[in-house]
Structure 1
Amino acid sequence: MGFSENAPSPLSAGMAVDAFSEALSRADETGPWILVSHGVGGIYSRIFASRHATEIKGLLLIDTLPESQLERIASAGRGFVLWLRGILSPLGIDRLMGAIFRGRSRKDRVVGRSAHQNPKQIKAKLQENLVATTLTRNEAVAARAILPRDIPLVVASSGKAVKADKRWDDGQRELTELTDNLVAWDVVDHSPHKVWNDPHGRALLEKRVGELVHRK
C-alpha cells in the first residue's frame, strides 16, 4: 500500500503478520489490541491474535472470509486477471480514465479510491492469490486451533451477502464459533459487503467497537 516496498515472494498471511509484528515492535507500539478487520483481513487478524494472544482484548470481524472459503480469492481465473492487470497497469490506461472521467487524483491512486490500480497492490493481491489455499489456509487452521477461547468476539455480516449466498451465511456462522466468548453476531439488513457504507451498519460497528474497548 502507498509508498511501502514490495514484499518478497512467496508471501502468506502468516509471513505478512510476522512483518506487521516486527513493524509494531520497531515503533514501540504495545497492546492490548482490539483487532478490526474486513474481508480476507479477518484471516490476518486471526493469525495475529493467535500469535499475540496475551495482548488481544477483542476481535471484530466485518463480513470476513472463513478459511474454508479461501478458494474465493485463490481461483486461477482471478489470478490470471490480476496478472493481466499487472502487465497493463504500467501503461497508465486505468489511471488516465480515472483522472478524466472520475476526477481521481494522485492521492486517490496512492492510498485512496483508486489504490487498486497501483502495481504494488496488484502484485500483493496476486501473491495472496497464489498461496491462499496452501500456506495461508494451513496458517489459518493452526491459528483457529491455538486461539484462546475466552477472547471477546463480534461478527458483523452483510445482510445482502448472507441472504444471497447460503454458503456465505454458513461461513459467517462458522466464524461465530472461533471463541466461546461471542459478544454479538450482527447481520446488518440491506448492508453491502462494506458494512460501514450503510448508515445503520456504520453506527452498529461504532457501537460494537466501543463495547469491546470498555469491556473488562
Structure 2
Amino acid sequence: MILNINNHKVHVQLSGNPTEMPPVVVVTGTGSWSYEWELVQEELSKHTQVLTYDRPGYGWSDASADGFSIDETIMDLKAILDETNIDEPVILVGHSQGGIYTRLFADKYPDRVAGLILVDTRNEFFSKEVPDFTEKFFATQSQAMNKLLSKIGVVRLVGENILPESLPEFISREKHVNVHWDSDFFTVLDQEINQILTSEEMVAKTKPLGDKPVTIITPDTNHSSATSFGFSAEEEAEINNHWRDAQQQLTNLSTNSEFVLIPDSSHAVMYDQPEAIVESVIRMGKGLELVSP
C-alpha cells in the first residue's frame, strides 16, 4: 500500500493477522528497502502482523522534498503506525543504521515499543574506537558519481551486472535496479550517509531502556573488509574485534538483554541467516505474551 505520510508517499507492506504476539516492524539499514526482508516477513507473518516499509527515496517510496532528515525518519515511523492503526506496542527490528532509528524511536515514544531486535547495528561506540577506519570508510562513500550515472541512464544499463554476487535468489536484479536504484535513491543515500555520525551522537544521549527486552544479533565472522581501505589483515582483525565489542556493549541498554552470535553470515543477516532473525523475534514475542495483562 502507498500512504501519504508527512507530505510524501511511502510504500508500506503489512501482512499477517493480529495475535497475542506484538506486531513486528522492520526498520531497514542505509540504502536498503522492504523487498530485502521478504523472507523474514513471510515467515513472521505466520505468527503476528508484520510491517515493512521503504523510507523516502528508497524502493517504492517518493523522496521527501526537504531531503533526508533523522527527525523526519522518526516522525514517519510514528505516522505509519498511526495510519495503519497499529496502536499496541511493537517489536522493532532494526538492521545496521536502522538500529539507530529504532533506538531513537524507542527513546521518543517508549510506550509504542515492546522490545528491540538490533541486527548488526551501528551504534555510538564503534566509530570512536576506530577513528582511522571510520575516517577512511566515510571518505569512500560519496554517491556523486552514481547520481550522475543514474541521471544519464548508465546505472539502468549496467546495474544488474554490478550488483554483488551474494544477492539471494529471491531478489530480482532487474527489480532492484529499476525500482530501487533511481536518481532519487543515490541522492537520498548520500544525504543519509552524511548524517550517520550525527545520528550516532544522538543515540548516545538516549535514556536507558530499563527492563524492556533487547536482542542483539551479530555475525561471529569478520566482515568489515578493512583491507579494501588499505588496512593490513592484522588491523582488519582488530577492527572486527572492535565491532563485536561494540555489539556486546549494546547489552547494557537493558537489564533484559540477549546477545546472539550468528555463524556463517555477512552483515546482511536477513539474506544469509533469516531464520535466526525470525527465531529471535518469535522468542521475544512469546516472552512478551507471558507478561501481557
Shorter chain as denominator, the TM-score bin is 0.7 to 0.9
- Answering whether residue 285 of structure 2 is matched by residue 213 of structure 1, we say yes
TM-score (norm 2): 0.61
| Closer/same/farther in 2, CA of residues 209 and 100 from structure 1, 3 Å limit | closer
1:154 aligns with: 215
SS at match of 1:185: strand
Determine helix, strand or coil for the equivalent of 1:37.
strand
Gaps of 5+ in 2: 1-57, 164-171, 224-235
Counterpart in the other structure of 1:21:
78
- Between the aligned partners of 1:100 and 1:203, the Cα distance in structure 2 is 28
The code of the aligned residue for 2:286 comes to H
Question: Tell me, what secondary structure is at the counterpart of 1:208?
Answer: helix
- Measured in 2, the distance between the counterparts of 1:175 and 1:34 equals 17
Q: Is the 8 A contact 2:159 2:177 kept in 1?
A: no
RMSD: 2.7
Find 1:138's aligned residue among 201, 206, 229.
201
Closer/same/farther in 2, CA of residues 6 and 104 from structure 1, 3 Å limit? same
- Counterpart mapping for 1:53-202 below 5 A: 53-69=110-126, 72=134, 75-79=138-142, 82-98=143-159, 104-105=173-174, 107-111=175-179, 115=180, 117-134=181-198, 136-143=199-206, 146-161=207-222, 164=237, 165-182=240-257, 184-198=258-272, 201-202=273-274
The alignment partner of 1:203 has SS state of helix
Residue deviations 1:33-59 (CA, integer Å, cap 9, x gap): 001111111001111111121221111
Give identity over the alignment, percent: 25
Q: What TM-score, normalized by structure 1, do the two folds share?
A: 0.81
Shift of 1:8: 4.4
Distance 1:43 1:89, change over 3 A: same
Q: Is the 2:117–2:216 Cα contact (8 Å) retained in structure 1?
A: yes
Contact 1:157 1:186 in 2 (8 A): yes
CA shift, 1:172, in A, is: 0.8
How many residues align structurally?
A: 203
